[in-house]
């Protein structure tokens, strides 16, 4: 990854409507959890580390990232310890963290059960895991192929994976709901484009007015979800899982 690519990634994490809006949704969920003072918090698949800035409000932050350049960018933020590694083999002892976030990551792993079990291993009994994933297998498109996804999820398959890994499912909700219809139309249209190697994902920060307009629905959803409500449909799913202890 050259300097321009790194700068583009940092700009996306900081300013793109999707990442900004998702951070608001995550904060709304975390604010509902009763975390102890001085909690240890892990962002699993932390990318360039922008989410670590948010998580620092909830405790002592740690990150792990497979990509070395992204991990270097995360370390440069000075927000806690960031390690390079795979989620299937986490470099921490059992029962280390009170809170783990894993945001749009497990769809990239060949075996999500292995990943979820390993995350549970390092989560303290009674601790929490907040996961986001792309929704609806029917929306599989070139976007998923280009981003090296193995799967999209339904509520049923996400719950099944979580329970199969030993987590207690406290809550599952959709989000990114207001943009579902137009995004679905685009994704389904992409299926007509072949071969997939001709497709390059064009994710960029657009004009400020458009970026703000696209973020606004997620701001509304964050306020709704923060009251403990759920949304019936959306491009993404969010699960709040608890490590109930041995078993």
| Angle (CA) 20 75 55, round 5° | 45
Residues 6+ apart with CB under 8 A from 5: none
Per DSSP, 107 falls in state: G
Helix or strand holding residue 168 (H, E): strand 168-175
Give the C-alpha separation, 91 to 204, whole Å.
33
pLDDT at 28 over 70: yes
**Alpha-helical runs (H) found in the chain:** 3-15, 17-30, 50-55, 68-76, 112-122, 142-146, 155-164, 180-190, 208-225
pTM greater than 0.95: no
pLDDT at 24 over 80: yes
- Tokens 């599952």 -> residue: 172
The whole-number pLDDT of residue 246 equals 76
The whole-number pLDDT of residue 30 equals 98
Q: Using one digit for the tens of pLDDT, what is the confidence trace for 142-165?
A: 878 888 899 999 999 999 999 999
Kindly state the average pLDDT of the residues 89-109: 98
- Which tokens in the block code for residue 97? 């963290």
pLDDT at 199 over 60: no
Question: Domains in the chain, please, with CATH?
Answer: 3-242 (3.40.50.150)
The rounded radius of gyration (Å) of the Cα atoms in the chain is 17
Residue 90 φ then ψ, to 5°? -75, 140
Q: Using one digit for the tens of pLDDT, what is the confidence trace for 39-88?
A: 999 999 999 999 999 999 999 999 999 999 899 999 999 899 999 999 99
| Angle (CA) 6 12 15, round 5° | 135
Kindly state the average pLDDT of the residues 89-117: 98
The whole-number pLDDT of residue 13 equals 83
Give the C-alpha separation, 224 to 175, whole Å.
10
CA nearest to 42, candidates 92, 106, 101, 90 = 101
Q: Is 81 helix (H, G, I), strand (E, B) or coil?
A: strand
């Amino acid at each position: 990854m050259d300097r321009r690519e790194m700068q583009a990634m940092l700009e996306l994490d900081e300013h793109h409507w999707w990442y900004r809006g998702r951070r608001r949704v995550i904060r709304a969920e975390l604010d509902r959890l009763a975390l102890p003072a001085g909690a240890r918090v892990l962002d699993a698949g932390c990318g360039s580390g922008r989410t670590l800035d948010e998580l620092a409000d909830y405790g002592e932050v740690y990150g792990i990232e497979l990509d070395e350049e992204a991990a270097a960018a995360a370390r440069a933020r000075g927000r806690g310890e960031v390690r390079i590694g795979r989620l299937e083999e986490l470099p921490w002892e059992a029962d280390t963290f009170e809170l783990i976030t894993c945001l749009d990551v497990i769809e990239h792993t060949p075996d999500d059960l292995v990943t979820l079990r390993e995350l549970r291993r390092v989560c303290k009994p009674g601790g929490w895991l907040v996961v986001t994933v792309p929704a609806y297998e029917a929306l599989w498109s070139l976007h998923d192929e280009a981003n090296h996804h193995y799967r999209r999820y339904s509520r049923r398959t996400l719950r099944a994976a979580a329970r199969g890994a030993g987590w207690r499912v406290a809550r599952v909700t959709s989000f990114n709901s207001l943009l579902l219809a137009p995004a679905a139309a685009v994704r389904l249209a992409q299926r007509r484009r072949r071969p997939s190697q001709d497709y390059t994902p064009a994710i960029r920060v657009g004009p400020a007015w458009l970026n703000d307009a696209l973020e606004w629905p997620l701001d509304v959803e964050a306020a709704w979800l923060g009251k403990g409500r759920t949304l019936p449909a959306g491009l993404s799913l969010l699960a709040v899982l608890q490590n109930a202890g041995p078993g």
